[in-house]
């Protein structure tokens, strides 16, 4: 990210940071890739933690760390090259070993909303990787007027059984995928998932080139991603992809990321996708040709 500018709100542990969109963060549609929103969120969360006295060095001294358990993001409008987005974050609640962090994103130029999101974090002992009770002094440091004792969580959506034509892709974890705790970074799971989805579309006759030639973009409206276990260097992963709940202009896509050697579920996602006219961004009807081609990949 570039041109990062902290703008503390003065209300407890609320922090706002600006990111100017770089060309390398955009996809073939000219939009910021979905995974990069997660990277903006993560950077802002780290800065917010440091602002109240809990930077990386302090967590290392404490022998504890926060890891993301779930991400829930709703995309409201696409970011493009040259935009500056303001990312605002604060802690929504604490539970015994967990905390929910909330986010709002808006354009600097006109204040229009870009996305809303929440991340569920688990406080872990670094040596044992077991959940640990969040100390009261940490709760006090992060407190602000909207922090509560524990908000009700929306259960993670249950996926329907996979259809006969579920798409499968494999990849090996590379050095570039890892973060400072030597695990695959949470945003990179979304990279894996979307690469798998592009492969699935091509396998069913709808390559990215064909989609764009027809003036169509298929964009995420909402992603929910649950992280179960970490992937590490050289793990071989299998990512699966299939659809359900096809409507006039929307479809739900289900993904799982599993470790090949033991079939352990590492991550799963539930995403609402919208078909839009590329030139205007307005939703359009999913073509019968698309649905016919994908029929084996659509769950009943």
At residue 85, φ and ψ (nearest 5 deg) are: -110, 135
DSSP reduced 3-state for 9: coil
Give the tens place of pLDDT for each residue, 148-178.
Answer: 666 678 899 999 999 999 999 999 999 999 9
We find that the CATH architecture of domain 1-154 is Roll (3.10)
CATH number for domain 156-300, candidates 3.10.129.10, 3.20.20.450, 1.10.540.10, 3.40.190.10: 3.10.129.10
Q: Is the entire prediction scored with pTM above 0.95? A: no
Task: Report CA-CA distances (Å) from 176 to 41, 68, 172, 203, 260.
Answer: 20, 19, 11, 27, 20
Sheet holding 113-125, edge to edge: 2-6, 15-20, 84-94, 98-107, 113-125, 64-75, 216-227, 265-277, 250-259, 236-244, 167-172
- pLDDT of 6 reads 39
Residues of the chain within CATH 3.10.129.10 domain(s) are 1-154, 156-300
Kindly report the number of other CB atoms within 10 A of residue 130's CB atom.
9
Give the tens place of pLDDT for each residue, 250-265.
Answer: 999 999 999 999 999 9
Q: What tokens does 137 get? A: 């002094």
């Amino acid at each position: 990210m570039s041109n990062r500018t902290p703008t503390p709100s003065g209300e407890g542990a609320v922090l706002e940071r600006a990111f100017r969109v770089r060309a390398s963060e955009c996809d073939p549609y000219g939009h910021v890739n979905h995974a990069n929103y997660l990277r903006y969120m993560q950077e802002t969360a780290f800065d917010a933690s440091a602002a109240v006295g809990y930077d990386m060095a302090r967590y290392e001294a404490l022998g504890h760390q926060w890891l993301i358990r779930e991400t829930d993001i709703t995309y409201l409008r696409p970011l493009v090259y040259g935009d500056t987005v303001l990312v605002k974050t604060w802690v929504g609640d604490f539970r015994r070993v967990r905390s929910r962090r909330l986010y709002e994103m808006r354009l600097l130029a006109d204040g229009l909303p870009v996305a809303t999101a929440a991340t569920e974090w688990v406080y872990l002992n670094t040596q044992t990787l077991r959940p640990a009770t969040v100390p009261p002094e940490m709760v006090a440091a992060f407190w602000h007027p909207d922090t509560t004792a524990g908000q009700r969580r929306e259960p993670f959506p249950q996926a329907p059984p996979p259809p006969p034509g579920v798409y499968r892709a494999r990849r090996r974890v590379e050095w570039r995928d890892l973060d400072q705790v030597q695990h695959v970074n949470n945003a990179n799971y979304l990279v894996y998932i979307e690469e798998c989805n592009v492969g699935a579309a091509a396998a069913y006759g709808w390559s990215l080139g064909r989609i764009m030639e027809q003036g169509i973009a298929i964009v995420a409206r909402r992603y929910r991603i649950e992280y179960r276990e970490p992937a590490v260097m050289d793990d071989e992963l299998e990512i699966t992809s299939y659809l359900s709940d096809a409507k006039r202009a929307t479809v739900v896509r289900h993904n799982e990321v599993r470790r090949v050697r033991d079939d352990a579920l590492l991550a799963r996602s539930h995403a609402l996708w919208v078909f839009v006219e590329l030139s205007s961004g307005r939703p359009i009807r999913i073509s019968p040709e698309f649905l016919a081609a994908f029929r084996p990949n659509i769950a009943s």
